[in-house]
Structure 1
Amino acid sequence: MVSPKALIKKLFGNESSQALDSEQTNDSRVGQLKREFAEHPTKGLNPHKLYGILEGAEQGDLKAQSELFDDMEEKDAQIGADLGKRRQLSAEREWQIVPPDNATAQEKRATEHAIEVFTALEVEDLILDLGTGIGHGWANLELPWQRDGAMRFIEQPTLRPHSWFRLHPDDQNCITLRDHSATGAELWPLGWVQHRHRAKSGYVARMGLHRMLAWPYLFQNYALGDLAQLLEIYGMPARIGKYPKSATEKEKATLLRAVVSLGQNAAGIIPDGMSLDFLEAANGRADVYQAMMNWCERAKAKAILGGTLTSGTGEGTNTNALGNVHERGQMSLIRSDVRQYAGSIGKQILWPMAALNFGIEKPSRAPRFYLDTGETEDLERLSKSLPTFVDMGAKIPLWWLHEKSGIPEAAEGEDVLMSRAGRNPDAPGMEARRGMPKAAQNPFGALRTPASRPPLAALRQAPTQPGQPSYYRDATLDQLDDQAQPVVDAWVAQVQQLAEQAESLEQLQELIANAFDDLDETELAEVMATAFEAADLAGRATVAEELDEETGNAD
């Protein structure tokens, strides 16, 4: 049997044991990182400076780009709010850890241990920290390991600033800790969650969504500055001071101070013999700057959330349908995010714990982490559509209904909600309550299903009158069936049409009551009259036969 130390070296390398005893950022070689202050490269940002920052990141220097991205998210309300919303939509999901398929007893114990560890963590904070990788393209969280007897487990992972890292000059996908060397210090195995978030494809330096947002951020700041300058210049009337030719330099300076003071305080004094003229404020156009700012806002919303209507930057002519389309696009991004978070957590947290404590060597046999992305259907729409399909003969499994509605399935012996009919043990519906599935009943189902029995079938079950041959009654009812069925079918079709329009039994009752006077009774009256005549003739024939029998007996 392989010893734990040998297994650690086999799976994670020779330096993996260092991370179990200490955090790498406590090492003296990278200790200066904790004493650094951000340089805020957004100060004085212009296209030339921005291009240099992005190009330097591609060559391995991630510090300036990382600090630029942090500044953008901090200073731009649109970027901060939309990215925060996207991260929060993932972090608020319910998490679960499950064993692999056909799990062994050892793998089930590893799953139970992982659940116990994660219950003690702030999982929402963990997801929010991993979510910083959306803008940067990656996020590195340091893992503090603890020990409980022979069991190893992690405590709350710590997000380290992106500016602490650089790219290895020989490998554009290898991130190292900045130290005094040209390549940086390699990250210790088992010491980090190295999350790579593919918001866009490319090398590590170009995977971040902030690369796409940097230019709209710059252009919007230019437009905002120009707009502020426009309002400052053209929002006030021009003030012109006039001084005589004989004015001294001191008098000129006094007049200038008075002109400036009038602009700020609306009050001032000037020497005698000088004058001030106020000109009408110039008509500057602010709409061109506003148009540029609106374009930048929409561009950022599209990049982060996949649309504009879920971030409040849409036009005034938006419809609810367009909003639903944008929301579905946003949810597709969230589903992609949570799958990437789950992959990093499973491979870089759950698998190492399972390997260290339970000897599970394959990542595919480690416990699996999930964030619930189940989207339930609208319950009102589901309750109206399902009975229709059931009446049409669709065989819909109960598990599908529970999954789509989000309503959990009751366990054996668990109390369940019941209808009033279900509370009576002899009433219909008890089969479903006892665990025997029963098709849902649609109150309009009988109207939508063609009658399987003739309208007069109940009369056929009535007992024959004494002395009346059955063939007389059957012949009469057959004729009445044939003639009355088209009339009844027309009535049923009319009521069925009303049922399709009605949204409730009360509305159906009202529609039928209003349409009662329109039902054509003439044809049915003629059919019934004919039937009564036939019945009368049948009765006369019966009496005649009985008289003949009595006369024959007398003879």
Structure 2
Amino acid sequence: MVGIKGLIGRIFGNSGNALEEQQSSGDARIGQLKREFMEHPSKGLTPAKLYQILEAAEQGDLKAQHELFEDMEEKDPQIAADLGKRRQLAAELEWQIAAPDNATPAEQRATDHAVEVFSGLDVEDLIIEMGSGIGHGWANLELPWARDGALRYVEQPEWRPHSWFRLNPEDQNELRLRDASAIGAELWPLGWVQHRHRAKAGYVARAGLHRVLAWPYLFQNYALGDLAELLELYGLPIRIGRYPSGASEKDKATLLRAVVGLGHNAAGIIPDSMRINFQDAADGKADMFLAMLGWCERAKARAILGGTLTSGTSGDSNTNALGNVHERSQMSLIRSDARQYASTINRDILWPMAALNFGIEDRRRAPRFFLDTGEADDLKLLAETLPTFVGMGAKIPVWWLHEKSRIPQAGEKDAVLMSTPAMTGVSALKRGLGAGVVALKADTGTAATDQAMLDAAIEAIGAEALDAQARELLAPVLERLKDAGDQDPAKLLGWLAETYPTEDGGQLEERLARLLWAAQMWGTLNGDA
């Protein structure tokens, strides 16, 4: 245990008791955070109040800013939908953990252990909770550690509210847990997944995308309130009550209640001596308010998804091509998000596990987590074009094909798909030469015609390719017969029976036919036929 503590102190610094308990549970001064309720600063939000909240955050008091951000995402359907889409698109990507290049046995064991641990976690939940950092600029999840014999591993990280944290007054990039002190409690190393999401540049307090969204959110609320008031004032006809001269104050109050009640209840009673007249509703225009609402919606969609056509805020009808452009822009954001999630997981989860369990102190040699953002190329196109390039002499590595096709490379113990027996000899030439080979095998009756067809067939497939195929097929036969001049088919069939004892007579005859056919073609190519 002394060795472990020494390793932790040397690599990660003072970790407190992070391996034994969670910081938010072990300190009574911090435990009170779990009993706090949100104050909902969005209530009665004005430009002046919003400015004060944002300014206080820059000075270290993050509580009101991040409670406002939570309100925005909860109350605004557009923000909730677009941010939810962006988080979900990253969360549904397939995750992988890879060993470093030229991994040592210890590094490979660390990788295998990490894969086993992550197979037991809900990685999708982890990514979604880290994705709250897109709007807030950061997200902190507390790490619960457990043991399996001598091995230490993390259990499901637990998301902590942003309002639990404040900035260190001496460092605008250091987050601390709020406690009774003026500067907060330092976060324990090994105790937290501290994700910083760079949706925009800036210090921690200003890095969140919600700071951009706060002003459209506020303006939209004003426009929506004004529109509602317009509908209330001008959507109903004006009611005018008339009372007789000499009416008492009580009669006037009765008439006023009836006039007001008719606006909402469409029913009421008044004395027979009184009258209510209905005038045409005033002609109020809602266009300016709707324009403001539309601008706010589009501004939020652009900030979150990089465009409007993947958000449902555009009214354009003929936007298919432009929509594809916006979708590519959206996917570039998702790829950036995925890389940022992976970087945090590598630093705060995989490296600590590798260091504690396998003594891997160099972060670059720890297992690497990543989300697969690649898309498979057209498999049909690959299958059709690769043989052409290979035939032209291109040296294409196997790993490149696996990467492009997104087909994983089989391990030593994996069962693999097997191809059908390779097509050689007569059957291959039939497919490659088509009608020319069929005509070549037919009895045409004239040697000149046969030779012309043979020349045409050789030209169609290419002399060099056919020569290479024949040489490969005939190599074992030539080796067998290089010291003997006897090429009797019966003896060749006997040799084939010895070489391929599992084949029956029909298969041996077919193999012999292919050999003889290849010999004829090879002799023709080399001037021996």
**Aligned residue number for residue 351 of structure 1:** 351
Q: Structure 2: how far apart are the matches of 1:279 and 1:356?
A: 81
Match of 1:119 in 2: 119
Give the drift of 1:243: 1.1
Paired amino acid for 1:19: A
Cα pair 1:422 1:429 within 8 Å, conserved: no
Residue number in structure 1 paired with 2:18: 19
Tell me whether 1:373 sits opposite 2:388 in the alignment.
no
| Contact 1:177 1:184 survives alignment (8 Å) | yes
**Cα displacement (A) at 1:58:** 0.2
Instruction: Write out per-residue CA displacement over residues 240-292 of structure 1, whole angstroms, 9 at most, x where no aligned residue.
Output: 00112211001001111111121122222222222111000111111211111
Q: Tell me the residue number matched to 2:56.
A: 56
What is the rounded CA distance, in whole Å, between the counterparts of 1:243 and 1:463 in structure 2?
A: 119
What are the residue-to-residue correspondences of 1:514-553 with 2, within 5 Å?
none
Instruction: Show the counterpart of 1:142.
Output: 142
Deviations 1:109-157 (A, max 9, x none): 1111111111111111111111010000001110011112221111100
Q: Structure 2 CA distance, aligned partners of 1:86 and 1:441?
A: 50
For residues 32 and 219 of structure 1, what CA distance do their matches in structure 2 show? Answer: 36
Fraction of identical pairs, as percent? 66
Residue 156 of structure 2 corresponds to 156
Change beyond 3 A, Cα 1:57–1:274 = same
- Helix, strand or coil: the match of 1:18? coil
* Alignment check: 8 A CA contact 1:59 1:169 kept: yes
1:211-236 deviation digits (Å, cap 9, x = unpaired):
00000101111111111111111111
Q: How does 1:143-292 map to 2 (within 5 A)?
A: 143-292=143-292
One-letter code of the match for 2:226? D
Q: What residue is the counterpart of 2:5 in the other structure?
A: 5
In 1, Cα distance between the equivalents of 2:306 and 2:116?
Answer: 37
Distance 1:95 1:426 in 2: 47
Aligned to 1:233, what secondary structure does the other structure show?
A: helix
Structure 1 residue 373 displacement after superposition: 0.6
Contact 1:213 1:300 in 2 (8 A): yes
| AA in 2 matched with 1:275 | R
How far, CA to CA, are the matches of 2:407 and 2:138 in structure 1?
Answer: 37
Compared with structure 1, are the counterparts of its residues 288 and 111 closer, same or farther at alpha carbon in structure 2 (3 Å cutoff)? same
Q: Does the C-alpha gap of structure 1 residues 148 and 195 become closer, same or farther in structure 2, counting only changes over 3 Å?
A: same
Whether the 8 Å contact between 1:305 and 1:330 is mirrored in structure 2 is yes
TM-score normalised by the chain length of structure 1: 0.74
For the 8 Å contact 1:100–1:367, the answer to whether it is kept is yes
Residue of structure 2 aligned with 1:414, choices 398, 416, 434: 416
Q: Which residue does 1:100 correspond to in 2?
A: 100
Report the Cα offset of residue 102 of structure 1: 1.1
Q: Cα deviation per residue 1:303-361 (whole Å; 9 max; x = unaligned)?
A: 00111111111232442211111011011111111111111000111111111111111
Displacement after TM superposition at 1:396 (Å): 7.6
- SS of the residue corresponding to residue 289 of structure 1 reads helix
Aligned CA-pair RMSD: 3.1
The residue type paired with residue 414 of structure 1 is V
Other-structure match for 1:541 = none
Aligned residues: 440
- The 3 A distance-change label for structure 1 pair 12 and 387 is closer
Conserved? CA contact 1:255–1:270, under 8 Å: yes
Between the aligned partners of 1:441 and 1:131, the Cα distance in structure 2 is: 54
SS in 2 for 1:277: strand
1:351–1:391 Cα change, 3 Å: closer
- Letter of the aligned partner of 1:20 in structure 2? L
Q: Give 1:462 shift.
A: 3.7
Report what 1:500 is aligned to: none
State the 1:238 CA deviation.
Answer: 0.3
The answer for unaligned runs of 5 or more in structure 2 is 437-444, 453-529
Distance 2:107 2:274 in 1: 94
* Contact map agreement 1:387 1:441 (CA 8 A) in 2: no
1:189-220 deviation line (CA, Å, top 9, x unaligned): 11111110000000000000000000010111
Cα distance per residue 1:154-192 (max 9 Å; x no partner): 110001000000001110001000011110000011111
After superposition, the C-alpha distances for 1:417-458 in whole angstroms (9 at most, x for unaligned) are 76xx9789963399xxxxxxxxx9899xx9xxxxxxxxxxx9
- 1:394–1:51 Cα change, 3 Å: farther
After TM superposition, the score normalised by the length of structure 2 is 0.77
Q: Letter of the aligned partner of 2:282 in structure 1?
A: A
Q: 1 CA distance for matches of 2:270 and 2:78?
A: 48
What is the rounded CA distance, in whole Å, between the counterparts of 1:185 and 1:330 in structure 2?
Answer: 38
1:299 paired residue number: 299
Could you tell me which amino acid in structure 2 is paired with residue 214 of structure 1? A
What is the one-letter code of the residue matched to 1:22? E
Secondary structure of 1:60 counterpart? coil
**Aligned equivalents of 1:461, 1:386: Cα separation in 2:** 37
Distance 1:159 1:200 in 2: 22
Structure number with greater Rg is 1
Q: Give the Cα separation in 2 of the matches to 1:202 and 1:224.
A: 31
Q: Amino acid of the residue matched to residue 135 of structure 2?
A: G
Q: 1:415 is aligned with what amino acid? A: L
Report the 3-state secondary structure (helix = DSSP H, G, I; strand = E; otherwise coil) of the residue aligned with 1:3.
helix
SS at match of 2:124: helix
Q: For 1:441 and 1:97, how far apart are their aligned partners in 2?
A: 44
Is the deviation greater in 390-399 or in 298-307? Answer: 390-399
